[in-house]
């Protein structure tokens, strides 16, 4: 099922959601300007999370207990994508679900939720593949955190989805609880299945960071309420 939109209008201009989308697209356009596949590989290995390198940073000397750069990749990796479909899919989900959570939390707390869930999601994926040399990248862990918050705040909101049936596409309106609940269970199931096979951690060769998706979703469900998801939104308490 592919989501098209939700029936959940907002009363604000979601500047943070728009800004995140623009930033992700801008970084991807920069990737397209790199002169060779080798340069792109170097870019990925520098700014994405490479689990093996992150593990080495945890095992550093007593004088330098960790590599600051490797920790920064927990955040920089959230803005890197391995291909157009990877980018387009993530930005579609952020476009649909981000604005409502931003409206409810307010811009600063929404950004905190987004970046924190993205970093924790990357660590969740790292935990299940600490010595992988394949870079982990993409916004999906952060967006999964937004979705984890969304499902608890707006469980009955209808999501317009398209279900492919051969050459036909069936439009359906399903509650967010159903759509996002099924999505989460799929990610968790695929993550459990991946424990018995070598895992590619989110590169263009087909590897998908299922544990980052599932982990980000859980962290969003926890952090959302902690940041005030169920409080009265700022737009309801402050004049425009």
Q: Which two tokens stand for residue 99?
A: 């604005």
Q: Where are the domains of the chain?
A: 2-228
Query: Topology of domain 2-228, per CATH?
Result: Rhomboid-like fold (1.20.1540)
Closest by Cα among 98, 80, 100 to 11: 100
Confidence class for position 193, pLDDT limits 50, 70, 90:
confident
Answer yes or no: are the C-beta atoms of 57 and 70 closer than 8 Å: yes
Question: What string of DSSP letters covers 120-143?
Answer: HHHHHHHHT-TT--S-B--SHHHH
**pLDDT 10s digits, 137-158:** 999 999 999 999 999 999 999 9
Residue 205, SS3 per DSSP:
coil
pLDDT reported for residue 59:
78
Whole-number Å distance between alpha carbons of 209 and 194: 10
**pLDDT 10s digits, 68-77:** 788 899 999 9
**pLDDT 10s digits, 30-51:** 999 999 999 999 999 999 999 9
Confidence class for position 164, pLDDT limits 50, 70, 90:
confident
pLDDT reported for residue 238:
45
97 pLDDT above the threshold of 90: yes
Q: How far apart are the first and last CA of the chain?
A: 37
236 pLDDT above the threshold of 60: no
pLDDT reported for residue 166:
78
pLDDT reported for residue 196:
61
218 pLDDT above the threshold of 90: yes
pTM: 0.88
């Amino acid at each position: 099922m592919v989501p098209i939109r939700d029936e959940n209008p907002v009363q604000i201009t979601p500047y943070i959601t728009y800004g995140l989308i623009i930033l992700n697209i801008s970084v991807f356009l920069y990737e397209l300007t790199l002169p060779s596949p080798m340069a792109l590989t170097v870019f990925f290995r520098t700014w994405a999370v490479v689990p093996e390198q992150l593990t080495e940073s945890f095992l550093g000397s007593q004088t330098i207990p960790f590599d600051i750069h490797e920790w920064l990749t927990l955040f920089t990796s959230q803005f890197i994508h391995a291909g157009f479909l990877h980018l387009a899919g993530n930005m579609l989900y952020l476009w649909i679900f981000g604005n409502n959570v931003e409206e409810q939390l307010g811009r600063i707390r929404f950004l905190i939720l987004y970046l924190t869930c993205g970093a924790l999601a990357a660590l969740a994926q790292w935990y299940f593949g600490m010595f992988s040399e394949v870079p982990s990248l993409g916004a999906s862990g952060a967006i999964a955190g937004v979705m984890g918050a969304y499902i608890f705040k707006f469980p009955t909101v209808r999501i317009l989805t398209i279900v492919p049936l051969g050459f036909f596409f069936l439009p359906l309106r399903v509650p967010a609880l159903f759509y996002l609940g099924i999505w989460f269970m799929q990610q968790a199931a695929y993550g459990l299945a991946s424990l018995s096979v070598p895992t590619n951690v989110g590169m263009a060769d087909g590897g998908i960071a299922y544990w980052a998706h599932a982990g980000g979703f859980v962290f969003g469900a926890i952090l959302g309420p902690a940041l005030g998801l169920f409080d009265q939104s700022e737009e309801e308490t402050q004049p425009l």
